[in-house]
Chain A
Amino acid sequence: MDRTSVKIVVAGGFGTGKTTLVASVSEIPPLTTEEILTEASLGVDDTTGVEGKSTTTVALDFGRITISPDVVLYLFGTPGQDRFWFMWDELAQGAVGAIVLVDTRRLDTSFPAVDYFERRGIPFVTAVNRFFGECDYTEDEIRGALELDSRVPLVWCDARDKESSKLALITLVRHAMARLKVKA
């Protein structure tokens, strides 16, 4: 009796279509889970309560795809705000890799995500979400703006479209496998 979990992270800047992509392929409507955060201002030995300190919650949404009776794939969207990096660490831990969604109207908002996965050597693909049909940039221009390594795959996508989201996911898993083979 066993069950294997496989995890993929869906990252990108605020409003780039992460939840939309998860929803388009998930077998359940995306679920939301929350983490309570407190503003860190005291040392490690402090064991007092949280009175008088500001707390907030960060929401994560995720979907699932049953691959086989033994394997389930979970897709986790990162929180939109960059300041919650520790959540990214938790999500990236043990993940096959990440899809970084890019909105061509605001290329810069996805740069922190690209930088994050690049620095940690986590396999990722960029998926350029064409919100309103045609895109003003060429692939080279986008690669330049995001300082993408030439080996990082770039796909064009419509996060609302299941086939398009599937393609982005398959491209990522193939890319991650190719990297494993190079390392092995």
Chain B
Amino acid sequence: MSFETWDGDDESAAGRFVPLYVLVNGRTSPRDSTLDLATQVVALPVDTRRLEPEYLEIVRRCAGWISVAEIGAYLRLPLAITKVMVDVLVEQGYLAVGTPAQQKIIDTHVLDQVIAGLERL
């Protein structure tokens, strides 16, 4: 698998390490992706015959809900690449996206569940 890369510098000073921005299918990452590392995705029941092997491998991993970080870890793909590839699959209707972790949503009901879940551990 080969990727074109470009060095998308932030406002950072010279000499500081920043993520390597990636170009996949003409898309850059991670800036135009709203996917979080913890966001989970799942495969939709659609025809995958036209997918390239690298993409098919991701879809296969998504038979059950799985996070972007887990996909990256299992397939040994750098995070920036995983994110764009997952995003492409979401956009093309191969994957559905779950509810991301979001600070703004004041959902104490979910946090109550988390506490109960931790207590059960």
Asked if residues A50 and B7 are in contact (CB atoms below 8 Å), the reply is: yes
Q: Which residue of A lies closest to B6 (CB)?
A: A47
Counting chain A CB atoms within 10 Å of each CB, the highest count among B72, B100, B121 belongs to B121
Counting chain B CB atoms within 10 Å of each CB, the highest count among A36, A50, A95 belongs to A36
Q: Which of B5, B14, B100, B117 contacts A50 (CB 8 A)?
A: B5
Q: Which residue of B lies closest to A94 (CB)?
A: B101
Q: Which of B16, B20, B74 contacts A83 (CB 8 A)?
A: B16
Asked if residues A37 and B19 are in contact (CB atoms below 8 Å), the reply is: yes
With contacts A33-B72, A46-B7 known, is A41 near B17, CB below 8 A?
Answer: no
Contacts of A50 in B (CB 8 A): 5, 7, 20
With contacts A31-B69, A46-B9 known, is A177 near B111, CB below 8 A?
Answer: yes
Docked complex Cα distance between A33 and B118 (Å): 24
Is B90 engaged at the interface, CB distance under 8 Å to the other chain?
Answer: no
Asked if residues B20 and A5 are in contact (CB atoms below 8 Å), the reply is: no
Is B10 engaged at the interface, CB distance under 8 Å to the other chain?
Answer: yes
Is A90 engaged at the interface, CB distance under 8 Å to the other chain?
Answer: yes
Q: Which B79-101 residues have C-beta < 8 A from chain A? A: 79-80, 82, 96, 98-101
Asked if residues A173 and B115 are in contact (CB atoms below 8 Å), the reply is: yes
Asked if residues A68 and B96 are in contact (CB atoms below 8 Å), the reply is: no
Q: Which of A5, A36, A57, A90 contacts B98 (CB 8 A)?
A: A5
Is B63 engaged at the interface, CB distance under 8 Å to the other chain?
Answer: no
Closest chain-A Cβ to B36's Cβ sits at a distance in Å of 6
Q: Which residue of B lies closest to A123 (CB)?
A: B103
Contacts of A86 in B (CB 8 A): 10, 18-19
* Chain A interfacial positions (CB closer than 8 Å to B): 1-7, 25, 31-44, 46-50, 53, 55-58, 60, 62, 64-68, 71-74, 76, 83-84, 86, 90-91, 93-96, 162, 166, 169-170, 173-174, 176-177, 180-181, 183-184
Could you list 19 further interchain pairs (A-B, Cβ under 8 angstroms) beyond the known A37-B20, A62-B73?
A: A2-B99, A3-B98, A4-B98, A31-B73, A34-B72, A36-B78, A37-B17, A40-B16, A47-B6, A64-B70, A67-B116, A71-B114, A72-B65, A86-B19, A93-B36, A93-B103, A166-B121, A173-B111, A173-B118
